[in-house]
Amino acid sequence: MRNRAKCKACESIIESKSSNDEMVCKCGQISVSGGDRLGCSALNWNNFLRVDDEGNVIVPTIQEAPKVTREDFLNALDELIRKIEDMPPNGMVTAINHYDFVSVLILFSSIFRSEDPRSPKT
């Protein structure tokens, strides 16, 4: 499927043909990018319509991005730390020093686990 869209506000049809191509409609409400990767964005999703290869207009279903909780973030950090710590010793000292990288991740994890200093003490 080609990366084409129609703006309800200005009625323009735009198309992104390559991975480095970003097209914006006349009124700036919608854009498409990335060619066949089908990237898109909108200031107001109610103005965004997909256009298929035959020229048919498709009303997309817009889904909210899942909310990432603090616990999700901390679990992802912990998993990344574990994976880096499990690397063989020679992998930890390559051009990207993973010892330094895991130290930063541990620091992030510690900061997010600590109590918020702005919160009132009970």
DSSP string, 53-110: TTS-EE-PPP-PPPPPPHHHHHHHHHHHHHHHHTS-HHHHTSSS-HHHHHHHHHHHHH
Divide the 122 residues of the chain into consecutive groups of 10 and give the mean pLDDT of each group. 94 94 96 92 95 94 81 85 87 77 82 61 46
Angle between helices 98-113 and 70-85 (to 10 degrees): 150
In the prediction, which pLDDT does 122 show?
43
Contact 48, 42 (CB under 8 A): yes
In the prediction, which pLDDT does 117 show?
52
Q: Please state whether the predicted TM-score (pTM) of the whole model is above 0.85.
A: no
In the prediction, which pLDDT does 76 show?
84
In the prediction, which pLDDT does 107 show?
80
Question: CA 103 to CA 69: how far, in whole Å?
Answer: 23
In the prediction, which pLDDT does 102 show?
84
In the prediction, which pLDDT does 27 show?
96
Question: CA 45 to CA 43: how far, in whole Å?
Answer: 6
